[in-house]
Structure 1
Amino acid sequence: MKRELGIARCGLACCLCSENDHCGGCNSGACPGVAFCENRRCSAEKEIAGCWACDSRDCRRGLLQKIKPRAFNEFVRRYGLKMLLDCLEENEKNGVVYHRAGIRGDYDEFDDTESLLAFIRTGKREGRTEL
């Protein structure tokens, strides 16, 4: 995990992205999506750190159409940015996969925000027994 890359303005984890070997993260201006990222543009115009700091909680612009960035933003609202980074780092150490080229990650397997929030906190899926 490259913790110094942090969380993108949309809520995705630059610190765990498979692109982070050649990308300086969302706020570096070197992100491959910098020219077209609606969430980056919007939060910069509003002069806020990211979508989690926005008053528009029901926004579905850009990447907020997907559950993972919406849940990551909600996690930051509830528990803070540091706790999100701490949980992601701990989960990675315990084998939780964010994503890799061609592989859906463990955080992508949810269709319910509250279940995903619980998974971020614990690294365990509710209702599943560990082998």
Structure 2
Amino acid sequence: MKRELGIARCGLACCLCSENVTCNGCNSGECPDKDWCENRECTVSKKIGHCYECNEKCRKGLLAKIKPYAFTEFARRYGENYLLDCLERNEKNEIVYHREGINGDYDDFDDVEALIEYIKTGQR
């Protein structure tokens, strides 16, 4: 885990991304998706660092997907540091963020609240 990369603007876990060997996160200015990322554009225009800092509960861009939306909701409710603590603990307990391509153990959910509970407890 590269904790210093933290959480992306949209809620994805840059700190656990399998691409973080070459990517320094969406706030680095080096993000290959920076020209089309709707969440980056929105947060920059609102002068906030992350979607979880916004008062609107929208489903724009990557927030249309359960994983980034649940991570954003988790950070909104409990804070980014607690999210990072949980992700680090889960990684130590062999919960994998990217197992096949960009899919891993956090992707097999169709309910936001169930995924938030999984992040918190590491238990299904």
- For the aligned pair, the TM-score class normalised by the smaller chain equals over 0.9
* Larger deviation, residues 97-106 vs 64-73: 97-106
- Identity among equivalent positions (%) equals 67
Structure with higher RCO (Cα < 8 A, 6+ apart): 2
TM-score, structure 1 as length reference: 0.91
Compute the displacement of 1:103 (Å): 5.8
- Conserved? CA contact 1:17–1:100, under 8 Å: no
Compute the displacement of 1:102 (Å): 2.6
Count matched residues. 124
TM-score, structure 2 as length reference: 0.96
* Matched residue SS, 1:27: coil
Segments of 4+ moved more than 4 angstroms? none
What is the letter of the counterpart of residue 78 of structure 1? Answer: R
Question: Which residue pairs with 1:63 in the alignment?
Answer: 62
Whether 2:106 is the aligned partner of 1:107: answer yes
- Conserved? CA contact 1:18–1:101, under 8 Å: no
Question: Which residue pairs with 1:72 in the alignment?
Answer: 71
Show CA shifts across 1:79-130 (max 9, x none): 10100000000000100010145362010010011110000001110xxxxx
- Conserved? CA contact 1:87–1:120, under 8 Å: yes
Structure 1: unaligned runs, 5 residues or longer: 126-131
Question: Which residue pairs with 1:13 in the alignment?
Answer: 13
Taking only aligned residues, the RMSD between alpha carbons, in angstroms, comes to 1.0
Compute the displacement of 1:8 (Å): 0.3
State the alpha-carbon separation in 2 of the partners of residues 50 and 102 from structure 1. Answer: 24
Cα 1:80–1:103, aligned 2, differ >3 Å: closer, same or farther?
Answer: closer
Structure 2: unaligned runs, 5 residues or longer: none
* Matched residue SS, 1:115: helix
